[in-house]
A and B are shown apart, each in its own frame.
Chain A
Amino acid sequence: MPNTLHTPLMSATNAIHGIVLLGGLLLIGAADGFLEKLLLVIAIAFGTINVVGGFLVTDRMLEMFKRRPDPRRAAASSERPPADAAPEREAA
């Protein structure tokens, strides 16, 4: 596999182990006492951060590969910078 995809793949597998959130779901019904409930709510929150954040971040990384110009179009577009580069020039 290309090196380029190492990071997104790691990030996606990272999101998948957020499945441990299910462990919180399974236990919380039987939990008694404030401490156990608190710990499990934290665990569920952690798991959710892991899952939701993980998949979203992976998607944002992969979004960057979406518009890959083919070589011919790339040659044409490299002659004139697309409009979205203009503000960047001002900022610089």
Chain B
Amino acid sequence: MTPLASFLQDPDFIRALYIAAFACFILGLRLLNHPRTARRGNVVAAVGMAVAVVATLLIESVGDYGLIALGVAIGTAVGVPAARGVKMTAMPQMVALFNGVGGGAVALISFVEYREELELGANPELELLVPILIAAIIGSVSFWGSNIAFAKLQELLPGRPIQLPGQQFVNAALLLTAVGCAVAIAAGAESELLFVVILVAAAVLGNMFVLPIGGADMPVVISLLNAFTGLSAAAAGLALDNVALIVAGMLVGASGSILTHLMAQAMNRSIPNIFAGGFGGVAVATGGAGDGERKPVRSTDASDVAIQLAYASKVVVAPGYGMAVAQAQHTVRELADELEQRGIRVDYAIHPVAGRMPGHMNVLLAEADVPYDHLREMDEINPEFPQTDVALVIGANDVTNPAAREQADSPIYGMPILDVDKAGQVIVLKRSMNTGFAGVDNPLFYNENTALLFGDAKESVAAVLSEVKEL
């Protein structure tokens, strides 16, 4: 062996590279906490990952570079176009999908590691088996749970909670099966079949665990599954005796848990509440009870809306997922520009979880070059609604639902909302009378000062814009 090769393959050198990688991860995550440095933080973390991969490839026992290259090539060929091509509106489900494949990788690796241990002949030690089993269960739950989250956000599955009869019982049985088989293996039963049963039970559990959760809570679910995958990677690291996996996995597990908590807090939802199993089923029934006494909704047209806007002095736009889907952000900004030329103050009310993810609206409006100081956070803009002439709700529903403030029996009761109903006039741009993602009816639509403009958000805004120009 040449001196250079022996230096590069020295375990101490590899350990040093790993430490450099950890430093990059930690620094990167810190930089990601501030808007100005966030992009650099992401690059720094990616560099850390590259260092960790190179260091691992240097390890003497690592071989079969052909197959490694094949796997990396396939992964790159799939991952790069997916990440490049995805629309801004579909970001959340993309993150769910990437999280899922990570969990899947953990489950597969733990299975192969178990097989290798069995092939070695000697009874595998408990300190190896326990992390392998934990990685298998959590990895499999994370893979399938993320796929369901993806399917819900992509609207392949209905966003509303799906309840199956006896679900709690089934979930408990699945968990018992997985844990029971795991205990049997840990106790010395050498059986690949049992291991496969664990993977399958955990897979079904992953499905069952996300299905009953409403679409509005999906960001929190993805964040939690993200933390799960991190922990399972750390467990795999214990089994493989690889410090990089342990440290990076724990880092993700810890920061992911904190983030899950922050997100739940922003929605005023408690985590156990979210996972106690969806809120939509009961909700629709509660909303339906009052339907008989409801006044009909008032629909309006673009020219009326244009007049109301043009003679207002203060307009607040409350954007939501509907704006994202219709890609209406550019047209919205043009309308705002037109109004501002007439001396009308236009602000944007940003609910922390409007859209499908925290920050979703900020990203879209920033893309449309909306001046940053016109984006106002919920707590800041809410006191201004009583002085607002027109609140223009564009494809937002649940985040403007006054039931969250007033109806103690509403499933979203307690969630902070944008007080658009306190504005002089409320104009809601909406595709149809369907309920929002949470599946809850919205009394805002039946208020006397509310008018609805039906249609695709972008087309509606464009129609209003051309009417305003003619005034």
Contacts and interface: CB of A to CB of B under 8 A. Distances in A.
A24 B219 CA distance: 29
Nearest to B255: A13
Nearest to B115: A36
Contacts of A16: 25, 45, 48-49, 230, 248, 251-252
Nearest to B119: A32
Contact of B45 (A55, A85, A89): A55
Interface stretch (B153-161, B178-186, B358-366, B380-388): B358-366
A23 B245 contact: yes
Interface string A1-25: 1111111111111111111111111
A74 B435 CA distance: 36
Contacts of A12: 28-29, 32, 41-42, 45
Nearest to B359: A4
Given A13-B259, A61-B363, A56 B72 contact: no
A55 B105 contact: no
Interface residues of B, number: 114
Contacts of B229: 14, 17, 20
A20 B373 contact: no
A25 B248 contact: no
Interface residues of A, number: 78
A66 B86 contact: no
A53 to B, nearest CB: 4
Interface in B43-99: 43, 45-46, 48-49, 52-53, 56-57, 59, 61-64, 67-68, 70-72, 74-76, 78-80, 82-84, 86, 88, 91-92, 94-95, 98-99
Given A13-B252, A48-B75, A88-B334, A56 B83 contact: yes
Contacts of B105: 18, 20-21, 23-24, 42-44, 46-47, 50
Contacts of A92: 331, 458-459, 461-462, 465
Contact of A9 (B32, B337, B459): B32
B249 A17 contact: yes
Given A4-B363, A53-B78, 13 more contacts: A8-B359, A11-B98, A16-B49, A18-B49, A20-B245, A23-B236, A27-B109, A29-B62, A43-B109, A49-B75, A64-B367, A74-B374, A92-B465
Interface of A: 1-32, 36-37, 39-69, 71, 74-75, 77-79, 81-82, 84-85, 88-89, 92
24 contacts: A5-B35, A10-B222, A14-B95, A20-B109, A23-B237, A23-B245, A25-B53, A25-B56, A26-B59, A27-B109, A28-B67, A37-B64, A37-B67, A43-B112, A46-B102, A55-B49, A56-B79, A59-B43, A65-B35, A66-B39, A84-B369, A85-B333, A85-B368, A92-B461
